[in-house]
A and B are shown apart, each in its own frame.
Chain A
Amino acid sequence: MIIKLERIKVQSRKSEEAINITPVVDEVVHKSGVRHGLVNVMNMHTSAGLLVTEGIPCLEEDILTHFTRLVPEDQDYHHRRYLDYDGRLGFNADAHLKSVLGGISCCFPVEDGKIVRGSRQTIYFMEYDGPLERTYVVQVLGE
């Protein structure tokens, strides 16, 4: 049984952004030596997300726009208060809720050393509160 875990940093450059990380995940699987098993990808933040969809710019824009429609910035959020543990106010409830809605992880089978995914399935790191340097983990398990 092989278990390989990598922590990968990504620098978002906008307030909201869909960043295609599929090639990075492919490479981690390739390097892991796992021929048959699973790969799990997880974002390590609560105001960013991770999701799978077709990899085209119009959909990237539609997802971000629709999330903003579902979770507008100007709403009455309880999170808008002083957070002692952070030494600052929390006013990014919308980013947290988008993270909840879109999810933070995905899992794919690995077969013959490659991810098994549909031809249009693309893995995105979703930034909802950038720009920030973020971290996600890729864990490959198998033999």
Chain B
Amino acid sequence: MRQGKGSKTPGPVGTKIMIDFHTHPVLIQELAKKYPDYERASREVFHIGNNFQPLETFFLQMDVAGIERAVLLPIDCRRARKLAVSSNEQVAELCQGSSRFIGFASVDPRRKGAAKELQDAVEKLGLRGVKLDPALQDFAPSDPRAFAVYEVAEALGIPALVHAGMSWAPETPLERCHPLLFEPPVRRFPKLNFVLAHFGWPWVWDAIAMALKYPNVYLDTSSLYYDSPKEFFQFVFSKQVPTTLIERSLRNKVVFGSNYPRVEIKNMVHALRSLALTEGCLHKIFVENAERLLARPEPQRMRRK
């Protein structure tokens, strides 16, 4: 199976290479200058108002946070919103420029040929996972057309990072954001690892129940909806949910994600470190769990329909 230049295998388990599993390449000057619709998609669809920054800033933000590698997430919402929030090709381009980036693909399950498009993104562009956002992409996680995408992802041995929890993007109904909407595909595709983003907030317990019950469900920490990152984490992960739940029961099921540039990576790292978690647990969240998700097994033979 061919892979792009930017697709590097993460370090072996036991290294200290910290991975941010949830970033969006939406404010990069170099892409804004090159692609006419990029800026409008970031402003109007993704809805972020910060200044565009040179790519160097992205790396410096990772550096000050102690993050070595970052997963880049595009969102293919061309049908639902007329624009893609960065494309698979743009993500692949960034990954070809730096081994610090791990690119995911995004396809629209309701578009004809989505499954094949995902296969090509993995095999030809070297992308390493699939990002889906039912609210922004306007699809139901249980839509049979989405099942075709899950099937290919499972066969390719890549993880699916799916939006769960409230979305800040405009025109994204909350009813499309509930983590339990993913229960049918999670059950149907037990070899496909699902990462429920944002800890599913405000449905945190529902997301946790999914991760506790199903071996193929993970959670990412890119959750911030009020107060500061530290205050939010202190409340959600020590008062709303006991920290011991993460330490004892979810230590193998949580990956660090920042949601940069909606939040600076360093703030989310500090917030996570402010919790009463052991170094062993933090190492799993920052390093090991992400490495395990990104380590692809031998791809299964594609099933033909």
Seen from chain A, the residues whose Cβ lies within 8 Å of a Cβ on chain B are 11, 13-15, 74, 77, 80-83, 85-89, 91, 130-133
Is the CB of B224 closer than 8 A to any CB of chain A? yes
Residues of B within 8 A of A89 (CB): 224-228, 262-263
Residues of B within 8 A of A133 (CB): 29, 51, 53-54, 56-57
Residues of A within 8 A of B191 (CB): none
Known: A88-B50, A88-B263, A91-B267. A80 touches B227 (CB 8 A): yes
Main secondary structure of the interface of A (DSSP, over half): loop
Give the contacting residue for A85; candidates B49, B229, B230; CB below 8 A.
B49
Give the contacting residue for A131; candidates B29, B57, B267; CB below 8 A.
B57
Instruction: Report the bound CA distance from A43 to B70 in whole Å.
Output: 31
Nearest CB in chain A: distance from B215 CB, A: 33
Give the contacting residue for B266; candidates A15, A74, A80; CB below 8 A.
A15
Is the CB of B61 closer than 8 A to any CB of chain A? yes
Instruction: Report the bound CA distance from A91 to B226 in whole Å.
Output: 9
Is the CB of B47 closer than 8 A to any CB of chain A? yes
Is the CB of B60 closer than 8 A to any CB of chain A? yes
CB of A87 within 8 A of CB of B53, answer no
Known: A11-B54, A74-B230, A80-B227. A86 touches B49 (CB 8 A): yes
Residues of A within 8 A of B1 (CB): none
Known: A74-B230, A81-B226. A88 touches B57 (CB 8 A): no
Known: A15-B266, A80-B228, A80-B231. A86 touches B57 (CB 8 A): no
CB of B64 within 8 A of CB of A14, answer yes
Residues of B within 8 A of A13 (CB): 60
Known: A14-B64, A74-B230, A89-B226. A132 touches B53 (CB 8 A): yes
Instruction: Report the bound CA distance from A83 to B49 in whole Å.
Output: 10
Q: Tell me the nearest residue of chain A to B231, going by C-beta.
A: A80
Nearest CB in chain A: distance from B29 CB, A: 8
Is the CB of B168 closer than 8 A to any CB of chain A? yes
Residues of A within 8 A of B231 (CB): 80
Instruction: Report the bound CA distance from A15 to B229 in whole Å.
Output: 16
Within 8 A of A (CB), among B39-84: 46-51, 53-54, 56-57, 60-61, 63-64
CB of B50 within 8 A of CB of A86, answer yes
Q: 7 more A-B contacts (CB under 8 A) besides A80-B227, A133-B53, A133-B56?
A: A11-B60, A80-B226, A87-B46, A88-B263, A89-B225, A131-B61, A133-B54
Instruction: Report the bound CA distance from A77 to B61 in whole Å.
Output: 24
Known: A131-B60, A133-B57. A87 touches B262 (CB 8 A): yes
Residues of A within 8 A of B53 (CB): 132-133
CB of B46 within 8 A of CB of A91, answer no
Give the contacting residue for A88; candidates B48, B51, B56, B60; CB below 8 A.
B48
Subset of 30 A-B contacts with CB under 8 Å = A13-B60, A74-B230, A80-B227, A81-B226, A82-B168, A82-B226, A83-B49, A85-B49, A86-B48, A86-B49, A87-B49, A87-B169, A87-B262, A88-B48, A88-B50, A88-B262, A89-B224, A89-B226, A89-B227, A89-B228, A91-B227, A91-B228, A91-B229, A91-B267, A130-B64, A132-B51, A132-B57, A133-B29, A133-B51, A133-B53
Q: Tell me the nearest residue of chain A to B49, going by C-beta.
A: A86
CB of B64 within 8 A of CB of A15, answer yes
CB of B228 within 8 A of CB of A87, answer no
Q: Tell me the nearest residue of chain A to B48, going by C-beta.
A: A87
Residues of A within 8 A of B64 (CB): 14-15, 130-131
Residues of A within 8 A of B46 (CB): 87
Nearest CB in chain B: distance from A44 CB, A: 10
Nearest CB in chain A: distance from B201 CB, A: 13
Instruction: Report the bound CA distance from A85 to B48 in whole Å.
Output: 8
Q: Tell me the nearest residue of chain A to B228, going by C-beta.
A: A91
Q: Tell me the nearest residue of chain B to A135, going by C-beta.
A: B51
Residues of A within 8 A of B51 (CB): 132-133
Nearest CB in chain B: distance from A97 CB, A: 14
Q: Tell me the nearest residue of chain B to A75, going by C-beta.
A: B228
Ranked 3 nearest A-B pairs via Cβ: A131-B60, A91-B228, A86-B49
